[in-house]
Structures are given as structure tokens and as C-alpha cells.
Amino acid sequence: MKFGGGGRVARAAGERRVAMEKQTISVRVPATVGNFGSAAEFGTLALDASLNVKVSRRRDGRVGIRYFGENGERVPRDRSNLVVRAIEAALHVKRVEFTGADLEIFSSVPVAVGLGSSTAAVLAGLISANLLYRLGMDEKSLFDLAGLYEQRNGNLRAAWLGGFVAGVESGSGRGRSGASRKTMVYQQTMVPEDLVLRVVVPETSLVRMPDSEAVGSAKKSKGRKQTAGKSAAHTATKRMNVDHLDRAAALSEFLVGHSNSIPFEANVPLPPTCKKHVPGLEEALQIRTPGLLSVFLCGSGPAVGVFGAVDSHRAVDAVREAFARNGVAGKCYEFRPTNVGALDWNSPYGDLTLSTGRGLGDSPSKNISLPV
């Protein structure tokens, strides 16, 4: 008896398996504002604005991108697009061939102004690749890979989880000398969704400022002077980090309702502004009005966030006037927080394997912030 057709059966099974695989997927990631309340990299808030990406497989190795949203001129339409680069990186790690894709990107996140557009793009690309190609990446793998493109860990975790994410130091572990070694962990705080964050975005071209701290310093400083300078700078950085950590902790307490008073003095020195030169930015960051909690640089800027305990329209007008006096128009946006991030927004696909800590760190300490 002859047994024929085995090859045809195998091919048919393979074709059915390919047909069953997802050919298109849609992913949603929230915007984020780092340096929220001037807490530097230790405080990030997830916003209700979002980056929405629809990815469809191609078989010819090409990439097609359609973009719908603001600042379209700043969004590459080729393989240099950050979403595409993240997709390719995930496939490369898993040794899966990238055969091309069509992307439709719908965004309510202004690009390159400090509202986490790059963070959202990186996560959207990695999540898309993981779900569309069934790569089986767990949460730790996803964050490790995202860190190659996005160094701001607070932004990544806020976009992933939602809410306000504060960085805190944990004393777990021991250093070589036997002293307690502090590590960074992250805490999530649920935020009242009636909170309104107003953001003023200066409408101007962005010009990078030279790094004045580095110019000539290496040549002029030698020996003990150079060592003393480094030591002083290191001490100043540590002191600033402590101030920012305290600020982030105070914001968490305030947002969760444990404190009814303004969590910090309005005249506390702000961190240095971004290296994007915008006339009027320094002046705008010095605005003070009654009931104002903070005027701060959004992430890497140049957008300016206005956060108040009461109506903050007066402060917004003052910020716009500061830019206007320097010949720069300012466009105003209103955002509300979201306590839901990319993890839950994309959960219907159910392919993500969760690791311990839900993205808050390898050994997260007990959260001092209780859910609202």
C-alpha cells in the first residue's frame, strides 16, 4: 500500500498555520510627561493623549508609513522611523526575519516637545512586534530592549502602567564595603482623573544649545583642580538628586490625597532647562501666580507644564506672554492623566507574559501610595 500526499498535507497545514497568524495588529500607548512638577527623572505622569499604531505585515521587505497627527514633518516615513526600528530590533533579538510592514500612525501626542512621543514610539514598536510575530517576550525582555532606545526609565514605566510613577531609592543589597547599597525602584500612584495639566508648546524651530559646561573645561583643569572640580560637581549632583527624590515623593502623597497642602515651595530652584534654545523659555519657567503648584519643563522640553491647585489659566496666560515678549507664539493644550497604560490597553491580545513587579523594578519596595 502506498502512502502518498504527505508533502501536500504538510504544506496545507503550514498554509493554514500562516493564515491563522495575525497579519495586522493595533497598539495604543499613552503620552507621558517626565520631570512632572520639576521632579526630574524621578517623576513621570501618563496622559490621556496617545500614540495609536496599526501594523500590517508585508512580504516584499518594504516599509510604508502613513501618519495622522501633529508635527507630521518631524516623523520619518522610512525605516528610520522609531516604531519601525523598535520592531526590527525585537525581531533581530528573536532571530526572526523582518519582511516589511505597512504602518498607520494616529497620534494626539505633539512630537519632540517633551511629551513622551519617542517613549510611546519605542513601546508601540516592541509591543507590535511581540504580538504580531508571537515572539514571547516577557516584561523584563521588553524593558531591557526598550532601554536601548529610551534611557528615561520613569517614562517607560509610566507609559506601560499609567498613573504617576515616582523613582525612589531602596536600601536592599550590600555594597563591597558592607554598607547598604541603594538601588532605584519605581512606585505607581493612581491619580485623580479630574486633574488638568495645561501645557504651553512654543511654536518655533528647535536649536540645540552648545554644552557650555564641557567647552574648554578638560584643557583648563588638571591635577588636583580637576579632581576637586569633579568632586564638587558630583556632590552637587547628589544633592540635586535628593531634592528631586523628595519632590517626587511629595507629589505622590499630594496626588493620592494624603496631603491637602502644596507639597513644595514654589520658589524651590528648578533643574536646568533643556538644551533646545527657545527665546523666552527661561522667563516662562519663572512664572508664579496664586494657587500655582509648579511651572516646569516637560521632559526634555521645550514644552512648559502648568500645574495648579486651582484654575491655572492665569499662569498659562503669563507663560504665553513670556514667550510672546520674545517673539515666540505658544500653543496651549489641556491633558488629563490616565491610570491605564499600554499594558492594560493592549491586554485583549493576551500574549504578554508578566514578570514580577509589573515593570516597577526587580525588587519593588512597598508602595507608600495607596490607590485612589
User: What's the 3-state SS for 144-207?
Assistant: HHHCCCCCCHHHHHHHHHCCEEEEEEECCCECCCCCECCEEEEEEECCCCCCCEEEEEEECCCE
- Dist. CA 128–CA 65, nearest whole Å: 15
Structure pTM? 0.78
Alpha-carbon dihedral 232, 234, 237, 242, rounded to 10 degrees: -100
Using only the alpha carbons of the chain, give its radius of gyration: 23
- Dist. CA 61–CA 99, nearest whole Å: 4
Element holding 142 (H helix, E strand): helix 139-146
> Measuring CA to CA, how many Å separate 9 from each of 17, 20, 48, 90?
12, 16, 50, 32
Tell me which DSSP letter residue 258 carries: S
Nearest-5° Cα angle at 253, 247 to 256? 135
pLDDT digits (tens, 9 = 90+) for 82-135: 999 999 999 999 999 999 999 999 999 899 999 999 999 999 999 999 999 999
**What is the set of domains in the chain, with CATH numbers?**
21-167+339-349 (3.30.230.10), 197-217+232-335 (3.30.70)
Grid coordinates given for 69: 497627527
- Dist. CA 246–CA 239, nearest whole Å: 11
Grid coordinates given for 33: 510627561
Stretches in the chain below the pLDDT threshold 70: 1-22, 170-182, 205-241, 258-275, 309-310, 348-372
How high is the pLDDT of residue 227? 47
How high is the pLDDT of residue 250? 82
Grid coordinates given for 166: 515616582
- Dist. CA 276–CA 273, nearest whole Å: 8
- Dist. CA 303–CA 283, nearest whole Å: 13
Element holding 249 (H helix, E strand): helix 223-256
How high is the pLDDT of residue 366? 34
Grid coordinates given for 79: 525605516
Tell how strand 164-170 and strand 183-189 pair up.
antiparallel
- Dist. CA 166–CA 44, nearest whole Å: 7
